[in-house]
Structure 1
Amino acid sequence: MKISRHTKILEIINSKDIETQEELAEELRKSGMEITQATVSRDIKELKLIKVLSPKGKYKYATISPTEVFLSNKLVAIFSQTVINIDSVDNFVVVKTITGSGNAAAEAIDSLNLDGIVGTIAGDNTIFILARSKEKAYELVQKLKKMMNE
């Protein structure tokens, strides 16, 4: 029973943006499972689910290995400590970093899998990001500036 429930939970969070335990419990009930809030809470802990920022700007449950979490946190720290300026022109975003940090900051950007990025090119102290549209470039600048200040 537990294994099938865990499998269903993973299937649900991989197909839908689930923000709360209540939403997850409701989805499990829709699939025919009798479940309590306490059981959902225990399952989340056992599966080591975390909340990540979705492309829509809301948090959702996801699976991630401890190594990936550690690496992602380190890269975000490097990004926030090395970026000097972020600006956009049309659908290009330009990120200026301290000398020698462009590649590390670009790796942080790439590891976040942000929506709307076509690709990145990193130099010694500059990163060019091609966004899918002017709107996506603007959204990206806002997200990156938030990261820069964290």
Structure 2
Amino acid sequence: MAAPTTKTARQAAIRDVLATRPIRSQAELSAALDERGLSVTQGTLSRDLVDLGAVRMRGVDGMVYAVPVEGEDGVPGRTTEAHASRLATMARELLISAEPTENLVVLRTPPGAAQFLASVIDQARVENVMGTIAGDDTILLIVAGSAHAPGVAAHLLALTG
């Protein structure tokens, strides 16, 4: 099988590798791509990870790379069942608490996971969430109004199982 040569194909291969096994470093990712017959320089790999929105987050195997999911049709930002499923999975794994206040909800995550979970929330287009701001272990959700904040917090906490 010929190795992908376009940027799009290369990034799809990176996304596939990150979705199928834990990758702790760029060197490990490069080796996994080599196994697929795709040789990538460190600079290109680094740019691809930035383009894909990859983040390092704490996983079962320590800090691993993860990328936000695209819609089932490949269009980023379109809400799909895949987004809802991914949000439920990530909430179970990463959401520690959700506290509503006025038109805001403050979410807590393990260290290093806030930006990734915020990205998943943005992509899932959670009802009444206008946007997210993420730090290291805290996410600030801006909600459509103070009447919606308790419901948004309860919805996200319910996803944790």
| 2:72 paired residue number | 65
| 2:146 paired residue number | 134
What is the alpha-carbon distance in structure 1 between the residues aligned to residue 129 and residue 87 of structure 2?
18
| 1:146 paired residue number | 158
What is the alpha-carbon distance in structure 1 between the residues aligned to residue 141 and residue 130 of structure 2?
8
| 1:82 paired residue number | 94
Deviation at 1:139, TM superposition (A): 1.2
TM, length-normalised to structure 1: 0.51
Partner of residue 96 from structure 1, selected from 94, 108, 111: 108
Deviation at 1:73, TM superposition (A): 2.8
**Alignment RMSD, CA only?**
2.1
| 2:77 paired residue number | none
What is the alpha-carbon distance in structure 1 between the residues aligned to residue 150 and residue 120 of structure 2?
19
Segment of structure 1 superposing worse, 109-118 or 68-77: 68-77
What is the alpha-carbon distance in structure 1 between the residues aligned to residue 137 and residue 127 of structure 2?
23
Aligned residues: 86
Q: Which runs of 5+ in 1 are unaligned?
A: 1-63
Q: Deviations over 1:100-140 (max 9, x none)?
A: 11011112211221221221101111000111211111110
Is the 2:99–2:153 contact (alpha carbons within 8 Å) kept by the matching residues of 1? Answer: yes
Q: Which has the higher helix share?
A: 1
Structure whose CA Rg is larger: 1
Q: Deviations over 1:29-58 (max 9, x none)?
A: xxxxxxxxxxxxxxxxxxxxxxxxxxxxxx
Deviation at 1:148, TM superposition (A): 1.8
TM, length-normalised to structure 2: 0.47
Segment of structure 1 superposing worse, 113-122 or 85-94: 113-122
Structure 1 segments, 4+ long, off by >6 Å, are none
